[in-house]
Amino acid sequence: MKIAIAVIGNEVSQHFGQSESFYIYEVEGREIKAREIKKSPGHGHALIGGFLKENEVELVISGCMGEGAFNGLKAQGIKVLTGAEGTPDEIIKDYIEGKLNLKEDGCIHAGGHHHGHH
């Protein structure tokens, strides 16, 4: 299974659409087989969703994700977990060990942040 963690700097991204890169882990059972770091293709959930699908990602882990991105990934058959904090390597280790307590839904961004869809 390929799992992508959205990253800004060295931490999980708290705003999926602004992720700088994705750490893509290939996981079999409780073992990490490979790790790639791929630069984000740009802003916008449609662009990122296509990029993740091309990289055969089955699960995305992020801090926070807007409704548009969440629904877009789900429509492509990509599972989503939100509410993560910390570094990608810590998060994937906790995921494999069953220690992550994340939500299977998006979250609404505070501060009145809205995307304009016209």
Q: Residue 96: which residues within 8 A CB-CB, separation 6 or more? A: 27, 30, 31, 32
State the Cα–Cα distance between residues 48 and 29, nearest whole angstrom: 26
Domain ranges of the chain: 7-96
State the Cα–Cα distance between residues 35 and 66, nearest whole angstrom: 26
State the Cα–Cα distance between residues 24 and 3, nearest whole angstrom: 6
Pick the CATH number of 7-96 from 2.40.110.10, 3.30.420.130, 2.40.160.40, 3.20.20.10: 3.30.420.130
pLDDT confidence band for 114 (50 / 70 / 90): very low
Pick 13 or 66 by higher pLDDT: 13
Tokens of 56: 């055969």
Pick 26 or 50 by higher pLDDT: 26
Model pTM score: 0.86
Q: At CA 117, angle to CA 111 and CA 118, rounded to 5? A: 140
The predicted-structure confidence for 43-102, as pLDDT tens digits, reads as follows 766 788 899 999 999 999 999 998 888 988 999 999 999 999 999 999 999 999 999 888
- What is the structure's pLDDT at 113? 42
> Buried (b) or exposed (e) across 36-47, using 16+ Cβ within 10 A?
eeeebeeeebee
